[in-house]
């Protein structure tokens, strides 16, 4: 459970950093690119074995990390587009609700336990995530087919990332290679990101600022460990992936909400409070299944 808690803490720090980006007007894209570099370096430094870079192409999990790196960049841009078109609340709900994909994958592909308590707990967790993610300032844009495309793509992209991480760590990644596996995901994302940023700089569309570099450093370390600890939690013999993803998702939403209240004086609506109450119930139900 310690790895699951550390993954929740790391992801919550990411939320805090993003909130500070708004306050200090940090360029999100530039910080994201730097963050991928820092996350890559964090993974390489955490790898206890001597790294033979010429042997990396022979790793069976490498194609999967390349796929994930591309998904990281694509999903991030889809989230940015969705935010512009439909608002932050829509992005938040789409991202959080995507947990249904890895949960379903775990239940079906790995034939994980699906007792009554657990199923009810997972369903309540999804309801809780939705309610807690709702904000009062909902965008008034009409729900046309075109406006629904991007939230759906964010939902799919986020869900496929988590599902792919579970599949790769279970089928191809040795325990000692987890840091290197995590680092290579970020290396791919960084290469793609720096290519786009370099093009924008050459065209004069972007200008580098030191605060964006600092923002990327602050984001990169917790971002790496959020993936690293999640993979370690998924590898724990007593935790099923459907349980890990559910508790991780609910935990992040709860922690992010608490950070918003304590540090940014955010106000919660009645629906948010109902969501928090349901989240607590869902955690208890899932914990009961785990202990039985």
Close Cβ partners of 261 (under 8 Å, ≥ 6 residues apart): 268
* 8 A C-beta contact, residue 64 and residue 165: no
Residue 214 to residue 240: CA distance in whole angstroms: 37
The predicted pLDDT at position 137 comes to 52
Structure confidence at residue 193 (pLDDT):
93
**Under a CB-based contact definition with an 8 Å cutoff, are residues 21 and 28 in contact?**
yes
- Looking at residue 76, what is its pLDDT? 82
Q: What is the pLDDT of residue 84?
A: 66
pLDDT computed for residue 144 by the predictor: 56
Angle CA 208–213–217, to nearest 5: 160
Q: Which pLDDT tens digit goes with each residue over 113-150? A: 878 888 899 999 999 988 887 766 544 444 455 567 88
For position 127, what pLDDT does the model report?
Answer: 92
Query: If we measure between CA atoms, which residue out of 256, 238, 231 comes closest to residue 3?
Result: 231
Would you write out the chain's pLDDT as a tens digit for each of its 292 residues?
799 999 999 998 998 898 888 889 899 889 999 999 999 999 999 998 888 889 999 999 999 999 999 999 899 888 878 776 776 667 777 888 898 999 999 999 999 887 888 889 999 999 998 888 776 654 444 445 556 788 899 999 999 999 999 999 999 999 899 999 999 999 999 999 999 999 999 998 888 999 999 999 999 999 999 999 999 999 988 889 999 999 998 898 888 888 888 888 888 889 989 999 999 899 888 866 554 5
Instruction: Tell me what pLDDT residue 117 has.
Output: 84
| pLDDT score for 88 | 63
Nearest to 289 by CA among 101, 170, 112: 112
Q: What is the pLDDT of residue 142?
A: 46
pLDDT at residue 184, rounded to an integer: 95
pLDDT of residue 292: 52
pLDDT at res. 49: 86
What long-range pairs does 214-218 form, CB within 8 A, spacing at least 24? 215/17, 215/20, 215/21, 215/24, 215/26, 215/27, 215/30, 215/31, 215/34, 215/35, 216/30, 216/31, 216/32, 216/33, 216/34, 216/35, 216/37, 216/38, 217/34, 217/35, 217/38, 218/17, 218/20
């Amino acid at each position: 459970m310690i790895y699951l808690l550390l993954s929740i803490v790391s992801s919550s720090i990411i939320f805090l950093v993003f909130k500070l980006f708004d306050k200090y007007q940090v360029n999100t894209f530039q910080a994201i690119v730097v963050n991928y570099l820092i996350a890559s370096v964090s993974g390489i430094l955490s790898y206890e074995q001597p790294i033979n870079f010429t042997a990396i192409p022979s790793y069976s999990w490498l194609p999967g990390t390349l796929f994930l790196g591309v998904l990281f960049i694509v999903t991030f841009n889809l989230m940015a587009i969705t935010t512009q078109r439909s608002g932050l609340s829509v992005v938040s709900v789409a991202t959080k609700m995507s947990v249904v994909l890895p949960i379903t994958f775990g239940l079906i592909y790995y034939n994980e336990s699906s007792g009554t308590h657990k199923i009810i707990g997972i369903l309540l967790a999804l309801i809780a995530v939705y309610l807690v993610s709702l904000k009062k300032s909902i965008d008034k844009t009409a729900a046309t087919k075109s406006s629904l495309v991007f939230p759906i793509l964010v939902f799919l992209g986020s869900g496929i990332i988590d599902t792919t991480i579970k599949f790769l760590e279970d089928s191809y990644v040795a325990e000692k290679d987890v840091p290197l596996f995590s680092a290579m995901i970020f290396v791919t994302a960084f290469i793609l990101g720096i290519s786009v940023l370099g093009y924008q700089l050459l065209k004069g569309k972007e200008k580098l600022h030191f605060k964006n570099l600092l923002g990327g450093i602050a984001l990169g370390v917790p971002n790496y460990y959020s993936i690293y600890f999640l993979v370690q939690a998924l590898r724990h013999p007593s935790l099923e992936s459907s349980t890990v993803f559910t508790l991780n998702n609910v935990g992040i939403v709860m922690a992010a909400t608490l950070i918003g209240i304590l540090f940014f004086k955010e106000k919660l609506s009645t629906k948010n409070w109902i969501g928090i109450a349901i989240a607590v119930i869902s955690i208890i139900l899932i914990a009961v299944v785990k202990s039985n």
